[in-house]
Structure 1
Amino acid sequence: MSLASPFSLSLVAITGLAFLGLPIGHAMIAGSILYLMLSGLDMGTAAEQLLNGMYFNYIILAVPLFILAAELMNIGSMTDRLMAFCNAVVGRFRGGLAHVNILQSIIFAGMSGSAIADAAGTGKMMQQLMTRDQRYPPSYAAALTAATAVIGPIIPPSIPMIIYALVSDASIGYLFLAGVVPGLLMALSQMIIVVFDAHRRGFPVEPPTPLRALPGITWRALPTLMMPVVLLGGIYSGVTTPTEAAAIAAAYALLVSTVLYRSVSLGDFYRSVLSSARTSASIGMLIAGAMVFNYVVTVENIPQALSAFLTARDLSPTGFLIIVNIALLLLGCLLEGTTILLVVVPVLIPTAQALGIDMVHFGVMVVVNIMLGLITPPYGLLLFVMTRIAGVPLRRLVRDVFPFLWAMVGALGLITFFPDLVLWLPRLLGYGG
């Protein structure tokens, strides 16, 4: 491929515009239009690809609905009751608040599907609780909160898995099921680090919650704890599609926060809808830009060329997965996760299919890689979010997050080399892969 070819110039334009501060979605649309113009193709194709992609992909509607559900939970008292329940269950152990942080992320993961929503919502609350009276160093609390937020999009529901399903045609229901065991593995790896750090650094033991108080705490938190049951039960029973389940999740969060808990004002509701709309618009523009650019990639036969190149190297499925892991971990240091899902992953899928790799297993592995990129310097978005929330220097946050990162990379290795860990639950419920 010549450096002066339309595709090369398109890549240069996208990269240059992104470095100049233009949102990557807009940059991809501009670069794609440049490619069409230089290639002598109809530039209206860009609008056609954008509109057709957004109009015919009904599943995209699930993204803003899950974002709205997370926002509604954050403004109500649902997260407060969730915290009280988690503290009653694991707060009595050494480093109890750190374990509470991990447990609440596991439960909250079944509601929001977004790592940023987890960090900005319950994560912000955990940061305040852990640093009160100097019980935990601020940088350690922020590092743990960033690491636990990674669990959110792995345990269902998951916005990245919805986007992966969009580009791979894999079943969203089975992808959601496949994320449960890997998500719990990630949480277990974090708890092992916390246990080690708690004894080495002398973290405090929280006053135990009396057992007689546990039923009352559980009862008050029950509507919140039932949300994943309502959400996932509808999907796996066949009553609702994932998109319809996302709408039910948002309606359920609104109902619980306003009617049962009575903790949401009209102003709070307006601000949550506005915040959800802004986030959804930015993601939607990124998806639109990627759809246009993916048309350019398809015209250039990039996926087929890469598949032929890798097949000629006689790679085994394991060798291919190792290369993909390394590539995605490195890309995660520099690129936003949705960009990787929409631009890079579609190029890898034909090779994975040719090698006989299960698309559900591959999707979970890809999503885990991308989530680890959120806490990998220098780009790691969660690192910047927690730096702003906690008010700690980035270098200290990176120092404290590395043990958790390495532990989760170990869990990623298990997920990669033992597909049955990922596919056991989907197969139990009828998956034929």
Structure 2
Amino acid sequence: MSTAFFACLVVLFFLAALGTPIALSMIVAAIAYLAVNGQDLSLAAEQIIQGLYDSFILLAVPLFIVAANIMNAGTISDRLLNFCVAAVGRFRGGLGHVNIVASLIFSGMSGSAVADAAGIGKIIIEMMTRNGRYSPGYASAITAASATIGPIIPPSIPMVMYALVSDTSIGYLFLGGILPGLLMGLVLMIMNSYIARKRDFALEEPVPLKKMPKLTVNAFPALLMPVILLYGIYGGVTTPTEAAAVAAAYAFILAAVFYRALSWKSMYEIMSYSAKSSASVGLVIGGALIFNYIVASENVPGKVAGLLSAIEISPLFFLFAVNALLLVLGCLLDASTIILVIIPLFIPACRELGIDLVHFGVVAVVNCMIGLITPPYGILLFVINATTGIPLRDIIREIWSFLAALVIALILMILFPDIVLWLPRMFGYNG
């Protein structure tokens, strides 16, 4: 390790420990590296500009953010929830199942776990805690856990980021996330059923079946959004970035024209909030682009790959070791930081060991999403705490069962790659 790289790491971890935003920590650490190395400091700005200019795929990020915020602002979330209550609310622990199914559906629109938790999550927590049917801690915990599905089923902002650093097909990554997302929903519903029986949760009054057609019709236009998105990408009609633009436009038409739920004022607030969110994500990506230049300059990926070749590690052991490391890092670091800074270190090793990059990418993103609910730095726990006022300690007390269920799903994805790769192969992927 060179002196400059050591200085870079010291500055990065020092600033992060002080609570400095991770994007600023990476940029300042990169400048420290360039200064110690005697390189032109303007190189940092050059790396950001070139990286962003050359990455057309990154335009998908703000467009998916806009689509998610429009969905949250309109009455679309309410219509989807009414549909889910009618479909699965009649079983024991029914509103818990509604929570999970709603996240599965909403994940096909937002691509963001935070958008899911802050939007539809807040509504269903109020439903679950009404009249004391579920404790606030339990309602919040299952909401946080189900929100992790959001970035797994397409569209997915984290997978767009992974595609950027790995040069992997975003279309096949999106396809690879569908079955893992459904698996995550299944294990959460099994855990919710177990806890519901154990705690003897009350049964909800079932919605009459004669109301199902009307509720389905009300929700149908919203349910079409992921279908349109996937057909656009896999039917060869649009690129992933163009599909993101279509998703944003469809969300706007749906909310403003079909449901008539948007005003000019609310639209201004949506665009303003989306711009701030996009700028925040862009700053993290910019910092990662400089950091990736430093990592490449130090040949860190080559050294890691050489080390693995020397010790003749098996691909399965490597996957388990990397995922164990990512689970630990998920307790401390933001998911974007792990995807943009940590995961690229292992991509050359994956190629060396013959590990499929679509499989590795989907598994790594699932791992990072589990990190979003892992104390002490589970950002989804903080989001729900901030939006509902439910004490953090109550949420953490209830989160462990759902955390264990998601880890089991992650292990199954590692052991059985076809869970990830079956759908991509059906659409012509040769990995």
TM above 0.5, yes or no, is yes
Cα separation, 1, equivalents of 2:124 and 2:212:
20
CA distance in 1, matches of 2:108, 2:356: 24
The structure 2 residue matched to 1:394, chosen from 392, 395, 402, is 392
1:381-420 alpha-carbon deviations (Å, 9 max, x no partner): 0011112233232222112110000011001001001101
CA distance in structure 2 between the partners assigned to 1:204 and 1:273 by the alignment: 41
Counterpart of 2:427 (choices 402, 416, 429) is 429
Residue number in structure 1 paired with 2:149: 151
The letter of the residue matching 1:139 is: G
| Corresponding residue of 1:34 | 32
Flag as ranges the 4+ runs of structure 1 deviating above 4 A.
Answer: none
**Counterpart position of 2:264:** 266
Gaps of 5+ in 2: none
Per the alignment, residue 304 of structure 2 pairs with 306
| Structure-2 separation of matches of 1:107 and 1:333 | 27
Q: Report the CA distance between 1:314 and its aligned residue.
A: 1.0
Q: CA contact under 8 A between 2:221 and 2:254: conserved in structure 1?
A: yes
Q: Distance in 2 between matches of 1:105 and 1:356?
A: 34
What is the aligned length? 431
Code of the aligned partner of 2:100: I
Which residue, 348, 351, 367 being the options, matches 1:350? 348
Asked whether the 8 Å contact 1:138–1:390 carries over to 2, the reply is no
Letter in 2 for 1:24: I
Counterpart of 1:285 (choices 274, 280, 283) is 283
- Distance in 1 separating the partners of 2:172 and 2:248: 22
User: How does 1:141-220 map onto structure 2 within 5 Å?
Assistant: 141-220=139-218
Per-residue deviation, 1:312: 1.3
Residue range with higher mean Cα deviation, 142-151 or 295-304: 295-304
Which residue number in structure 2 is paired with residue 92 of structure 1?
Answer: 90
Matched, 1:253 2:236: no
Counterpart of 1:23 in structure 2 is 21
Tell me the SS of whatever aligns to 1:324. Answer: helix
For the residue of structure 1 that corresponds to 2:346, the secondary structure is: helix
Shift of 1:45: 1.5
> For 1:208-227, what per-residue CA distance to the aligned partner results, in whole angstroms no more than 9, with x for missing partners?
11111111110111111111
The match for 2:364 among 363, 366, 390 is 366
Amino acid at match of 1:361: H
In structure 2, distance between residues paired with 1:122 and 1:408: 21
Q: Secondary structure at the match of 2:79?
A: helix
Q: How big is the shift at 1:372? A: 0.3
Q: Which residue of 2 aligns with 1:136?
A: 134
**Range 13-22 or range 288-297, more displaced:** 13-22
Q: Find out whether 1:10 has 2:8 as its counterpart.
A: yes
Mapping for residues 236-247 of structure 1, pairs under 5 Å: 236-247=234-245
What's the RMSD between the two structures over aligned residues?
A: 0.9
Partner of 2:72: 74
Q: What is the DSSP-based 3-state SS (H/G/I as helix, E as strand, rest coil) of the residue aligned with 1:226?
A: helix
Letter in 2 for 1:246: A
Q: Secondary structure at 2:7's aligned position in 1?
A: helix
Contact 2:133 2:201 in 1 (8 A): yes
CA distance in 1, matches of 2:404, 2:75: 34
Report the more deviating stretch, 188-197 or 387-396. Answer: 387-396
- TM-score, with length taken from structure 1: 0.98
Q: Which residue of 2 aligns with 1:341?
A: 339
CA separation in 1, counterparts of 2:154 and 2:379?
Answer: 21
Letter in 2 for 1:323: A
Q: Matched residues in 1 for 2:399 and 2:419: separation?
A: 26
Distance 2:373 2:35 in 1: 38
Under a length normalisation based on structure 2, what TM-score does the superposition of the two structures give? 0.99
Question: 2:267 & 2:278 partners in 1: Cα distance?
Answer: 16
Q: Deviations over 1:156-212 (max 9, x none)?
A: 110000000000011111100000111111111100111111111121211111111
CA distance in 2, matches of 1:285, 1:41: 22
8 Å Cα contact 2:136/2:394 also seen in 1: no
- Distance (whole Å) between structure 1 residues aligned to residue 136 and residue 311 of structure 2: 48
